[in-house]
Amino acid sequence: MLPVGARRSRIYDYLLEHDQNVLQVDVDNMVRAHTASIVGGDDNEATARELAGFAAADKENVSAVADTAAGETGVISLATAHMRRLYSRFSELLLVDCTHKTNRYNYQLLTFMTMNEFGEGAVVQHSLLEANGDWHMDKAITHFKRLHLARIKLLRVIMVDKDMNEIRVLESNFPEARVLICHFHVIKYLKEMRSKPEFGKISSYDAVQIDACIHKLVYADSDISNEAAHFALKGLCERTGHSGFFDYFEKNWHECQDRWVMHRRADLPHFRNHTNNRLESFFGKLKDGVDGSKSMAECAKTLVAYDRRVENEYRYRLARIGQFVHSGYDEEMANVLRFTTPYVAGKVAEEYAFALDRLETYTFLRDDEDGHILHVDGGKKSYVFRDDDWRCDCEFSVSMRLPCRHVIAFRKNASAEGPVIPWASIDERWTSPLRELKKVRQFTYERYSNKDAGREVLATMTQTQRYAEALRVTQRIAFELSDIDETDEFRRSLDFLEQQWRNFRQKTCEVATPREPGEPGKRRSAAHNDSDSIDELKDQEMSSEGDSSEDKEVEEVLAGAPTIRLNPKAR
Cα-based torsion angle of the residue sequence 190, 97, 86, 342 in order, rounded to the nearest 10 degrees: -40
379, pLDDT greater than 80: no
Domain end: 241, 265, 289, which one?
Answer: 265
Is residue 140's pLDDT more than 90? yes
Amino acid identity of residue 65, one-letter, is: V
Q: What's the rounded Cα separation, in Å, for the pair 233 and 219?
A: 14
Q: What are phi and psi of 417, to 5 degrees?
A: -70, 150
Q: Is residue 226 part of a domain?
A: yes
* Predicted pLDDT of residue 304: 95
Asked if 113 contacts 123 with a C-beta cutoff of 8 angstroms, the reply is: yes
Stretch 35-56: mean pLDDT: 78
Which range, of 171-180, 408-417, 441-450, averages the lowest pLDDT? 441-450
Q: How many domains does the chain have?
A: 3
Q: Can you give the pLDDT at residue 532?
A: 45
With cut-offs at 50, 70 and 90, classify the pLDDT of residue 139. very high
Q: Is the dihedral of CA 262, 266, 272, 274 positive or negative?
A: negative
Q: How far apart are alpha carbons 186 and 406 in whole angstroms?
A: 32
Please indicate, yes or no, if residue 459 is contained in any of the structural domains. Answer: no
Ranking 93-102, 361-370, 501-510 by mean pLDDT, the lowest is: 501-510
Q: What is the mean pLDDT of residues 205-225?
A: 94
Confidence category of residue 516, pLDDT binned at 50, 70, 90:
very low
pLDDT band at 561; cut points 50, 70, 90: low
pLDDT for the residue numbered 20: 80
Look at residue 18 and tell me whether its pLDDT is greater than 90: no
Among 398, 430, 462, identify where a domain stops. Answer: 430
> What sign for the dihedral angle of Cα 517, 523, 527, 530?
negative
What's the whole-number mean pLDDT along residues 64-73? Answer: 90
Query: What SS3 string covers 426-482?
Result: CCHHHCCCCCCCCECCCEEEECCCHHHHHCCCCCCCCHHHHHHHHHHHHHHHHHHHH
Question: Which of 230, 245, 265 finishes a domain?
Answer: 265
39 pLDDT more than 70: no
The reply to whether 251 falls in a domain is: yes
How does the average pLDDT of the chain come out, rounded? Answer: 83
At 164 the pLDDT is 66
Best-predicted range by mean pLDDT (11-15, 229-233, 422-426): 229-233
Task: Write b or e for each residue in 417-449: b if 16 or more Cβ atoms lie within 10 A of its Cβ, otherwise e.
Answer: eeebbbeebbbebbeeeeeeebbbbbbbbbbbb
Please give the average per-residue pLDDT across 515-533, as a whole number. Answer: 42
Determine the pLDDT at residue 547. 46
Per-residue pLDDT reduced to its tens digit, 295-325: 899 999 999 999 999 999 999 988 887 788 8
Tell me the residue length of the chain: 571
Q: Say if 113 falls within a structural domain.
A: no
pLDDT at residue number 146: 92
Please give the share of the chain, as a percent, with pLDDT higher than 70.
84
Which tops the pLDDT comparison, 423 or 460? 423
For the cut 90, the answer to whether the pLDDT of residue 75 exceeds it is yes
Closest-CA residue to 565 (of 52, 22, 70): 70
Residue 401 belongs to some domain of the structure: yes
Average pLDDT of the residues in 546-560? 49
3-class SS of residue 347: helix
Instruction: Say what the pTM is.
Output: 0.74
DSSP code string of 244-284: HHHHHHHHHTGGGGGGT-GGGGTTS--TT--SSHHHHHHHH
Q: What is the pLDDT of residue 451?
A: 59
Provide the pLDDT for residue 190. 93
**Residue 273 and residue 158: Cα distance in Å, rounded?**
10
Is 523 a member of any domain? no
Q: How confident is the model at residue 543 (pLDDT cuts 50, 70, 90)?
A: very low
Give pLDDT, residue 399.
87
pLDDT of residue 3: 55
Print the domain residue range for 413: 341-430
453 found inside a domain: no
* pLDDT over 90, % of the chain: 46
Q: What is the pLDDT averaged over residues 33-55?
A: 77
| Any domain includes 140 | no
* pLDDT value at 521 more than 50: no
How would residue 544 be classed by pLDDT, with cut points 50, 70 and 90? very low
At residue 98, the 3 state secondary structure works out as strand
